[in-house]
Amino acid sequence: MYWDVKLVKPLADYCLYVELEDGSCGEFDLKPYLDHGVFRELRDVNYFNQVGVMLGALTWPHEQDIAPETLVAGLRRTATTGSTSV
């Protein structure tokens, strides 16, 4: 799907750089989620940095994930993919 994540890189301050299949990219801030339920575990920076992509979604080893609708709604878009400045 067009909102599927194809690349994710952890950034400082609990943000993620994300590239989507539709060619858009940007940063997603996870700080608003870190005090809620299963996302509390992501406060551990070493664990947070284990973010990956599974079936087009952002995921972590203990099965936390970000719904595609949430990701797209919260993505602060930057230039299109192909930029390697991150």
- Residues 55-67 have a mean pLDDT of 94
Task: Output the pLDDT for position 68.
Answer: 85
Domain boundaries of the chain, sorted by first residue: 5-77
SS3 for the chain is CCCCEEEEEECHHHEEEEEECCCCEEEEECHHHCCCHHHHHHHCHHHHCCCEEECCEEECCCCCEECHHHHHHHCEECCCCCCCCC
Q: Which residue, chain included where needed, has tokens 């599927």?
A: 4
CATH tag, 5-77: 3.30.2020.10
Q: What is the pTM of this model?
A: 0.86
Task: Output the pLDDT for position 80.
Answer: 60
Task: Collect all residues with Cβ–Cβ distance below 8 Å to 9 and sequence separation of at least 6.
Answer: 16, 17, 86
Task: Output the pLDDT for position 58.
Answer: 96
